[in-house]
A and B are shown apart, each in its own frame.
Chain A
Amino acid sequence: MSEREPAALRTLVLHCPDWPLVSWGIPGDEPAAVLVANRVVATSAAARSEGVSVGQRRREAQGRCPDLALLDRDRGREVRFFEPIVAALEDLTPRVEVFEPGTLGFPTRGPARYFGGESALVGQVVEAARPVVPSRGRLQVAVADGGFATRLAAALLAVERPCLLAEGSTPAFLADQSVNVLGMPELSSVLERLGLRSLGQFAALDAGDVVGRFGREGAVAHRLARGFDDHPPDLRRPAPELTVEQVFEPPTNRLDVCAHAAWELAESLGSTLGAAGLACVRVGIEVESSDGHTAMRLWRHGGVLTPAVMAERARWQLEGWIRALPSNPAAIDPAAIDSALSPDDVHGLVRLRLIPDEVVPAVGRQLGLWGGRSERADEITRVVGRVQALLGSDSVTVPEWRGGRGPSEQLVLVPAAAVDLGVDRPATASEWVTEPWPGRLPNPSPARVYAEPATVDLLDAFDQSVSVSSRGEISDVPAIFVLDRGRRRRVLDWAGPWPAEERWWDPLHQRRRARIQVILDDQSAHLLVVEHGQWFLEATYD
């Protein structure tokens, strides 16, 4: 990390904003959001202008924008629609690397020389990509120093026209950015509390002090803030014998078979690299099909590629190939394409290879390089990794306490990929939450908590809707319970209400709710919540 270190590589990044929505064929002026586990992970421009934002729950997002279209995340689909763009750019340079579906990049040195300068190269890239971008997608292209800064420039500066940051001007661009762009929420919240709001302020700290205070993650962030890449550039090629491969006999185009093979390859690659003290930052995924064609894609990640991450990228890529698009780019209309897909059309795959294309010395203990811990935790981690390879890493989560009043707020699910299952995790013990939560429901907690609460009509003996006043008083004794306009059921007994006023200081996010417990005539007990006069079935004491 000395100052003699050469500057980050000149890099070109092509970024298609809102790719998860574009891959579903949603135009930007239609309000839509993509969800994972009931949380918003991507939004269309129209949805953003209505106040829908990443991280919101489904209900909250629908509350902001009632005609919001909701879509499931489908990474395989995102890769599939991005494939033609990657392929088009591969005609210009062989070293195209995919960062995630919708974003790719490559070092400009060779191709810029060939095409006569960086701005000529940008023109070539736009010209090559334009015809294969789905009609609803947009292209944003930037050239700057280093992958991180260039991705940022492509997302922020290249909205109207391609952006070319002159050599050496990247640190000045970064200096004005908020520390949130690092994508390390815990670190940036600490930095903000210390009064360091911009990358420039953070970059001005002494590198040694940063390592001492924030450890390895802080050191990487500090490198990025100063305009370096997260790892020093190292152009040594890894030894070819590190490549791992699996031969399919007979040829297969079953995604689960391929995904499983990818997981086993990633796992063995991970342990080989670990034994050699190396970690992979860019991996090549190569397949050979039974008709003799081979295809290869390079994937990079904002850090070290753990076996789980490698296996997941391989799964996305395989899905992109196996459920390939027609070769005619004009036919790429996301709305029309699904019916045309048939996995039987493609030739089977006969070989899958994972090539550790760029490796760096492993620093610290890497997740996924198992050993030296309890054998059981390692086995669990291995099996969890295999499930992640099959379903995608977002689909495997572990619970942590967060504190809150309602049963759905006390615990959150965090991706298993983000934690180490082999070590003590204090946030999984209920003592983790020490602040008292006024308005919190007394124990026991309900055994069933509905992710999508159904509406309930709660009536008194005279068929009048029961309401809760702003002072937390109930209007009358609840007598009749009607779920989703279904059968009327008698309320035998009830308790409450427990008012819950949240974020009263924030007019945009404040919520006033109240909860009651009811016992119905079949001796089932439920937790109901009322907001804006509407009751919901939030949970059942099953």
Chain B
Amino acid sequence: MPVPAEPTPTSSEALAAERIEALLGSKGLIGKIAPLSRSSAALYPVPEDLAALLGRNGIPKGWQLGFVGGGAWTTAMRLWASMLGNDGWLALVGVADLGLAALAEQGVRLDRVVVIEPPPGDLWLPVVDALVETFTVVAVGPARVSRAHARRLTSRCRDQGAVISHLAESGTLTWPEPLDCVFDCTSASWSGVDAGSGHLRGRKVEIAVRGRRQAPSRVLSSAGLAVATP
């Protein structure tokens, strides 16, 4: 870019500068790129303790998340409740075991939840592909998807802003591509139960995060389950 203190540039230099300005200046390409990249960097809010764990204030739109281990499903529900807020929509694909009462207790609005049976193999991708177009969070169980298809779905999510949450079935995730962020959970301790009396009230979960776009970090979260009982 031209600096004013310099001698008057030759006409060809002026032309080049003009071109650069047109490309990179505020009215040029940069001006167009900036708002785009800002919007794609927009975040879905997360609970405070998880924000500290992640080192950012939310989950970026278009990310692929994984949830593994003891307490993973509750952790996923807590995260969704915060991400969905009042207007987000959640699709559950092939996760028939998910406890809907627990989902509601974690704060997810059940009138924004749609439950879909596990699609047969060749229809899994068309179904999830359709859902990411408009749902905020799409939760999926284990899927058999080729690497190329997985990559295509990842870029679809980046365009649309939907976040796919992969729930591990028996301790392992089957997604063929690295996920942006994986929550490795370990159930640490329970409270409320004592040799026949009381009932489960609260617990601590140790959560570690890792992933393609996530610096490893861990935390002992106590906000796992406690729900006020009348």
Expressed in whole angstroms, the Cα–Cα distance for A412 and B102 within the complex equals: 14
Of A26-34, A213-221, A240-248, A377-385, the stretch lying at the interface with chain B is A377-385
Asked whether A361 is an interface residue with its Cβ less than 8 Å from the other chain, the reply is no
Q: A517-B193, A523-B189 are in contact. Are A396 and B200 (CB under 8 A)?
A: no
Asked whether A376 is an interface residue with its Cβ less than 8 Å from the other chain, the reply is yes
Asked whether B156 is an interface residue with its Cβ less than 8 Å from the other chain, the reply is no
Smallest CB separation, A193 vs chain B (Å): 28
Q: A384-B114, A446-B102 are in contact. Are A493 and B194 (CB under 8 A)?
A: yes
Expressed in whole angstroms, the Cα–Cα distance for A76 and B197 within the complex equals: 53
Contacts of B186 in A (CB 8 A): 523
Contacts of B77 in A (CB 8 A): 447
Asked whether A191 is an interface residue with its Cβ less than 8 Å from the other chain, the reply is no
Contacts of B226 in A (CB 8 A): 444
Smallest CB separation, A127 vs chain B (Å): 39
Expressed in whole angstroms, the Cα–Cα distance for A517 and B195 within the complex equals: 11
Smallest CB separation, A499 vs chain B (Å): 14
Contacts of B127 in A (CB 8 A): 387, 390-391
Contacts of A384 in B (CB 8 A): 114
Of A40-48, A101-109, A222-230, A421-429, the stretch lying at the interface with chain B is A421-429
Smallest CB separation, A370 vs chain B (Å): 13
Task: Assess whether B193 is in contact with A407, with CB atoms less than 8 Å apart.
Answer: no
> Could you tell me which residues of chain B, from 176 to 206, have a CB within 8 Å of some CB in chain A?
186-190, 192-201, 203
Q: A376-B87, A428-B109 are in contact. Are A445 and B130 (CB under 8 A)?
A: no
Residue of B nearest to A398 (CB): B114
Task: Assess whether A445 is in contact with B99, with CB atoms less than 8 Å apart.
Answer: yes
Contacts of B126 in A (CB 8 A): 256, 260, 390
Smallest CB separation, A435 vs chain B (Å): 15
Expressed in whole angstroms, the Cα–Cα distance for A430 and B115 within the complex equals: 18
Smallest CB separation, B31 vs chain A (Å): 29
**Residue with the greatest number of chain A CB neighbours at <10 A, chosen from B101, B109, B226:** B101
Expressed in whole angstroms, the Cα–Cα distance for A542 and B185 within the complex equals: 10
Residue in contact with B102 in the complex, picked from A428, A442, A445, A450, CB distance below 8 Å: A445
Task: Assess whether A390 is in contact with B119, with CB atoms less than 8 Å apart.
Answer: yes
Expressed in whole angstroms, the Cα–Cα distance for A449 and B199 within the complex equals: 18
Task: Assess whether B116 is in contact with A387, with CB atoms less than 8 Å apart.
Answer: yes
Asked whether A525 is an interface residue with its Cβ less than 8 Å from the other chain, the reply is yes
Residue in contact with B134 in the complex, picked from A37, A379, A444, CB distance below 8 Å: A379
Asked whether A129 is an interface residue with its Cβ less than 8 Å from the other chain, the reply is no
Smallest CB separation, B121 vs chain A (Å): 11
Q: A256-B126, A522-B70 are in contact. Are A442 and B229 (CB under 8 A)?
A: yes
Smallest CB separation, A534 vs chain B (Å): 20
Expressed in whole angstroms, the Cα–Cα distance for A523 and B97 within the complex equals: 20
Asked whether A395 is an interface residue with its Cβ less than 8 Å from the other chain, the reply is yes
Smallest CB separation, B57 vs chain A (Å): 24
Task: Assess whether A541 is in contact with B114, with CB atoms less than 8 Å apart.
Answer: no
Smallest CB separation, B194 vs chain A (Å): 7
Residue in contact with A451 in the complex, picked from B96, B105, B203, CB distance below 8 Å: B96
Asked whether A399 is an interface residue with its Cβ less than 8 Å from the other chain, the reply is yes
Task: Assess whether B73 is in contact with A525, with CB atoms less than 8 Å apart.
Answer: no
Task: Assess whether B227 is in contact with A443, with CB atoms less than 8 Å apart.
Answer: yes
Asked whether A290 is an interface residue with its Cβ less than 8 Å from the other chain, the reply is no
Task: Assess whether B70 is in contact with A523, with CB atoms less than 8 Å apart.
Answer: yes
Task: Assess whether A256 is in contact with B114, with CB atoms less than 8 Å apart.
Answer: no
Size range of the interface on A?
35 or more
Residue in contact with B225 in the complex, picked from A256, A380, A425, A444, CB distance below 8 Å: A444
Task: Assess whether B101 is in contact with A256, with CB atoms less than 8 Å apart.
Answer: no
Expressed in whole angstroms, the Cα–Cα distance for A541 and B225 within the complex equals: 9
Contacts of B73 in A (CB 8 A): 447-448, 542
Contacts of B74 in A (CB 8 A): 447, 541-542
Asked whether A156 is an interface residue with its Cβ less than 8 Å from the other chain, the reply is no
Contacts of B114 in A (CB 8 A): 380, 384, 396-398, 416, 421
As a 0/1 sequence over residues 519 to 535 of chain A, the CB contacts with chain B under 8 angstroms (1 = contact) are 10011110000000000
Task: Assess whether A448 is in contact with B98, with CB atoms less than 8 Å apart.
Answer: yes
Asked whether A163 is an interface residue with its Cβ less than 8 Å from the other chain, the reply is no
Task: Assess whether A523 is in contact with B188, with CB atoms less than 8 Å apart.
Answer: yes
Asked whether B140 is an interface residue with its Cβ less than 8 Å from the other chain, the reply is no
As a 0/1 sequence over residues 381 to 414 of chain A, the CB contacts with chain B under 8 angstroms (1 = contact) are 0111011001100011111110000010011010
Smallest CB separation, B212 vs chain A (Å): 25
Residue in contact with A449 in the complex, picked from B71, B99, B119, CB distance below 8 Å: B99
Task: Assess whether B200 is in contact with A494, with CB atoms less than 8 Å apart.
Answer: no
Expressed in whole angstroms, the Cα–Cα distance for A477 and B102 within the complex equals: 28
> Could you tell me which residues of chain B, from 64 to 122, have a CB within 8 Å of some CB in chain A?
70-74, 77, 87, 89, 96-102, 104-105, 109-111, 113-117, 119, 122
Smallest CB separation, B20 vs chain A (Å): 41
Task: Assess whether B97 is in contact with A450, with CB atoms less than 8 Å apart.
Answer: yes
Asked whether A110 is an interface residue with its Cβ less than 8 Å from the other chain, the reply is no
Residue in contact with B119 in the complex, picked from A391, A446, A450, CB distance below 8 Å: A391
Asked whether A495 is an interface residue with its Cβ less than 8 Å from the other chain, the reply is yes
Contacts of B89 in A (CB 8 A): 376, 380
Task: Assess whether B199 is in contact with A495, with CB atoms less than 8 Å apart.
Answer: yes
Contacts of B109 in A (CB 8 A): 428
Expressed in whole angstroms, the Cα–Cα distance for A401 and B100 within the complex equals: 10
Asked whether B133 is an interface residue with its Cβ less than 8 Å from the other chain, the reply is yes
Expressed in whole angstroms, the Cα–Cα distance for A425 and B96 within the complex equals: 22
Can you offer 17 A-B residue contacts whose CB atoms are under 8 A?
Answer: A376-B87, A376-B134, A379-B134, A380-B134, A383-B130, A383-B131, A390-B130, A391-B119, A395-B116, A424-B111, A444-B226, A445-B99, A447-B77, A447-B99, A451-B96, A495-B197, A541-B203
Q: Closest 10 A-B residue pairs measured CB to CB?
A: A445-B101, A428-B111, A542-B73, A447-B73, A395-B117, A428-B110, A523-B187, A444-B227, A445-B102, A495-B193
Other A-B contacts than A37-B96, A425-B111, A519-B190, 19 sampled, CB-CB below 8 A, are: A387-B130, A396-B115, A398-B113, A399-B113, A413-B115, A428-B109, A444-B200, A444-B225, A447-B77, A447-B102, A448-B98, A495-B197, A496-B199, A517-B200, A523-B189, A525-B203, A541-B74, A542-B72, A542-B73
